[in-house]
Amino acid sequence: MLSAEQLEQYEREGFLVIPNFFSAEQSQLLLKEAKKVLDEFDVSGHPMTKFTTSREEHVGDDYFLTSGDKIRFFFEEGAIDAYGKLKVDKARAVNKVGHALHELNPTFQAFSQQGQVANLVRQLGFKDPRLLQSMLIFKQPYIGGPVPIHQDSTFLYTEPLSATGFWFALEDCTTQNGCLYFLPKSHKTHPVQRRFVRVEKQGPDMSTVTGTTFVGGDEYKVPEDAFVKAECKAGTLVLIHGSTVHKSGPNYSDKSRYVYTFHVIEGEATYDDKNWLQIPGAAGEKGSARFTRI
């Protein structure tokens, strides 16, 4: 459980670094499972999609848009050549795996839905917490790309806002291998204006296809020295308020930076049907009710 000081710090700063949230044994177990997931990934037949959060890149393809309730693999930018072939070994080419590890992978399911997490989300004030958008993010040595400045509620918009990031360090995270950087207190100064939404587009054969795009908001203009780095050890949980402006650096070092992350939204809030992540849900279920209760 968080102390009153920790809760106050989270409310004030918009993020909270919690060292030793999970044990070295758990960390090793999750790391081993992450490597197994990657090892068992069969590259053949993959649509060679790539994922980026940069504004310019069009990432709307079916493989990505239907990954909300599956375990799928997304490559680093630059890992695939013009012919759709991997330029590097698959273990170094995959940027992330998502977005339903919390449902479909027994190890990550158990970890995500453990009592310690359930207690914590209630301490943060969630009445009907729902899990979604779980990811393994591999910042592989030398090739791990940076994540541009963003706010998590841009991707998981609810009314009222409720998205909260849970970010678990499976390895030590440093400025060398791509740790997080935060703009303190930005959850109070930077309203979420940008959205990452589904959009109907015209396909190459003039048919209508579903893609994604960013809408609203200006480019984030944040001086480099306004960010604070959040270096941390394996076993650390970092809580990220959905409106907090943050980013992570590239990994040009010789050490990987494996992270497991998921998001929690309030089930009583309205989940926006324009959000990129949509899952079918059971009959009669709507909005946030489709997502895993914790």
Kindly state the smallest distance separating residue 146's Cβ from Fe ion, in Å.
12
User: Would the CA dihedral through 207, 45, 138, 106 be positive or negative?
Assistant: positive
Question: How many residues of this chain bind Fe ion (CB under 5 A)?
Answer: 1
CB-based contact 208:261 (threshold 8 Å): no
Q: How many CB atoms lie within 10 A of CB 27?
A: 21
- Specify the residue, 46 or 95, whose C-beta has the smaller distance to Fe ion: 95
- Specify the residue, 80 or 131, whose C-beta has the smaller distance to Fe ion: 131
| Burial state string for 171-200 with b = 16 or more CB within 10 A and e = fewer than 16 | bbbbebbbbbbbbbebbeebebebbbbbee
Kindly state the smallest distance separating residue 39's Cβ from Fe ion, in Å.
26
Is 152 a binding residue for Fe ion by CB under 5 A? The answer is yes
Site string for Fe ion, 212-241 (x = CB under 5 A): ------------------------------
Find how far residue 197's CA is from the centre of its chain. 16
Pick the piece of the chain touching Fe ion (CB under 5 A) from 152-160, 169-177, 213-221, 283-291. 152-160
- Specify the residue, 165 or 267, whose C-beta has the smaller distance to Fe ion: 165
Kindly state the smallest distance separating residue 248's Cβ from Fe ion, in Å.
8
CA distance 86 to 83: 9
Bridge partners (DSSP) of residue 80 are 86
Question: What tokens does 278 get?
Answer: 């949509």
Kindly state the smallest distance separating residue 246's Cβ from Fe ion, in Å.
6
Kindly state the smallest distance separating residue 209's Cβ from Fe ion, in Å.
27
- Specify the residue, 57 or 285, whose C-beta has the smaller distance to Fe ion: 57
- Specify the residue, 103 or 152, whose C-beta has the smaller distance to Fe ion: 152
Q: Assign residue 78 a region: left if phi > 0, alpha if psi is -120 to 50, beta otherwise?
A: left
Detail the DSSP E strand segments found in the chain.
Answer: 15-18, 71-75, 94-99, 129-139, 147-150, 158-159, 164-169, 180-182, 195-202, 208-215, 228-230, 237-241, 246-248, 257-266, 270-271, 292-293
Is 168 a binding residue for Fe ion by CB under 5 A? The answer is no
Kindly state the smallest distance separating residue 152's Cβ from Fe ion, in Å.
5
Kindly state the smallest distance separating residue 31's Cβ from Fe ion, in Å.
21
Is 137 a binding residue for Fe ion by CB under 5 A? The answer is no
Site string for Fe ion, 245-274 (x = CB under 5 A): ------------------------------
Closest-by-Cβ residue to Fe ion is 152
Pick the piece of the chain touching Fe ion (CB under 5 A) from 55-63, 68-76, 91-99, 149-157. 149-157
Pick the piece of the chain touching Fe ion (CB under 5 A) from 121-129, 132-140, 148-156, 200-208. 148-156
Question: What tokens does 269 get?
Answer: 């809030």
CA distance 142 to 250: 8
Binding site for Fe ion (CB under 5 A): 152
